Amino acid sequence: MASSAWRIAVIAVGAVAAVAVPGVASADTTVGYDVSHPQCGTDLPRDRAFAVVGVNGGLSTRANPCLQEQLTWAWESSGEVDDQPRAQVYLNTANPGHLLGEVTTWPESGATPYGVCDGTNSTACSWQYGWERAQNSVLSFFTPAARAARVDSQPSRYMWWLDVETMNTWQSGSVDALARNRATVEGMTEYLHSRDAEVGVYSTGQQWAQIVGSVDEDSVLAGLDSWLAGSVTADQAEDACDEEPLVPDGDVVLSQYVRDEWDRNASCR
């Protein structure tokens, strides 16, 4: 996300100035930022209302090596935007089931809403793959980093965004392939819901349609919030707040564009 071509920024709306507190952003902006492994070793923006941190290192099977430091930074955001949690996170997503034999993390078993996973490139195993990748990201990457950073380590205290974009590995070429991709995102959502976490989806309309296709109203994805990428100017990011959400019954709550090489985010609430 933070290294993709869709990176974005937000319009900083004037706010009442506040006395700066060491280590905590001053409440003079409504801008939010998202960062991840590409920003390791860089000086992160000082003033921000909220921040979204990538848990993964580009792939769902890898950890962001700077997650601990970036979580600390996120929690030091000002919280100026009431409807946006000051510290949010996102997970990379993918479905490499068509690469069986090359993917060591593909599940071999598991009971799912689509039946029993038998280790094949099936909808059931795609769902199980999503569940396991979310579970591993929470238990092996996020929780240890949050505890080391001495910030809240409960998944239920964060907004979790699922980053769905074509730069990751997805299946294609048929309606069944889209259904398997969709099942993976559903599996990730189901695991996060099992931890009482709030979940949303990040993408552009075009890439979402290419990867996931349509979403039925009885899917667990229906009603999730949308974070829209793809804007190239601040005005476009603001206008994108009025676009259709990625899933039925959802709302667009964040809009993103890039400025000065930083991903910035405008709250649509």
The reply to whether 143 falls in a domain is yes
Provide the CATH number for the domain around residue 39.
Answer: 3.20.20
Contact 81, 49 (CB under 8 A): yes
The domain tally of the chain equals: 1
Instruction: Tell me, yes or no, whether 171 lies in a domain.
Output: yes
CB-based contacts of 93, cutoff 8 Å, min separation 6: 60, 130, 133, 162, 163, 164, 168, 184, 185, 188
In a domain, 231, yes or no: no
Return per-residue pLDDT of the chain as tens, 269 residues.
744 333 333 323 222 223 334 456 656 789 999 999 999 999 999 999 999 999 999 999 999 999 999 999 999 999 999 999 999 999 999 999 999 999 999 999 999 999 999 999 999 999 999 999 999 999 999 999 999 999 999 999 999 999 999 999 999 999 999 999 999 999 999 999 999 999 999 999 999 999 999 999 999 999 999 999 989 887 898 999 999 999 999 999 999 988 888 999 999 98
27 lies in some domain:
no
For residue 237, being part of any structural domain is answered with: no
243: left (phi over 0), alpha (psi -120 to 50) or beta: beta
Q: What is the DSSP string of 43-87?
A: ---S--SEEEEESBSSSTTSB-TTHHHHHHHHHTS---STTS-SE
| DSSP β-ladder status, 262-267 and 252-259 | antiparallel
255 within domain boundaries: no
Q: Which residues on neighbouring strands pair with residue 265, listed in sequence order?
A: 32, 256
For residue 176, the model assigns a pLDDT of 98
Helix (H, G, I), strand (E, B) or coil at 162: strand
Has residue 230 been placed in a domain?
no
Within a domain: residue 158? yes
CA distance 52 to 227: 11
Residues found in the chain: 269
pLDDT for residue 27: 64
- According to the model, what pLDDT value does residue 43 have? 96
Domain of residue 178: give its range. Answer: 32-225
pLDDT at 23: 58
Q: Please, are residues 106 and 97 in contact by the beta-carbon 8 Å criterion?
A: yes
Q: Is 8 helix (H, G, I), strand (E, B) or coil?
A: strand
CA 77 to CA 148: how far, in whole Å? 18
pLDDT attached to residue 238: 92
Assess contact for 94 and 171: CB atoms under 8 A. no
